[in-house]
Amino acid sequence: MKKLIAYCGLDCEACDARIATLNSDDDLRNKVAELWSEMNGVEITPEMINCEGCRVNGAKTPYCNDLCPIRKCAMSRKLQTCGSCAELEQCETVGMVISNNSQALENLRGNK
């Protein structure tokens, strides 16, 4: 199983927050913070852009670490990913991601 697939199926390896963290790239942190702030309608600072991956030990963004309902649910159910959940296809929680990202659903189907 690929450890850099998040609980929701997104590929952490391709995430700009992870890339910025691993490369200590402050320019990329600034770009990600600006984009995510605009997308989410909240202030996200470059200092918050530190993440090594959803399911691996290490830094997480504040959202991923403390707020993500998908991560909280999967962890409480002790699932490797949402792909291991019998409710995957009907789940409204992970549906926010997989309804807009066919690759995330494919990743989940391959990461049970």
Task: Write the DSSP assignment of 26-95 as a string of letters.
Answer: HHHHHHHHHHHHHHHTS---GGG---S-TTSSS---HIIIII-HHHHHHHHTT-SSGGG-TTGGG-HHHH
Q: What is the pLDDT of residue 3?
A: 82
Answer whether residue 32 is part of any domain: yes
Q: What are phi and psi of 5, to 5 degrees?
A: -90, 125
DSSP reduced 3-state for 11 = strand
Please state the pTM of the whole predicted model: 0.88
Q: Which residue matches tokens 């403390």? A: 66
Note whether residue 1 is domain-resident: no
- Residue 56 counted as domain residue: yes
Q: What is the pLDDT of residues 25-83, one digit of tens each?
A: 999 999 999 999 999 899 999 999 999 999 999 999 999 999 999 999 999 999 999 99
Domain count, the chain: 1
Residue 43 lies in a domain: yes
On whether residue 2 sits in a domain, the answer given is no
What domain range includes position 45?
12-110
Residue 104 lies inside a defined structural domain of this protein: yes
Residue 3 falls inside a structural domain: no
45, 62 Cβ separation under 8 angstroms: no
Residue 62 within a domain: yes
Alpha-carbon span 41 to 50, nearest angstrom = 19
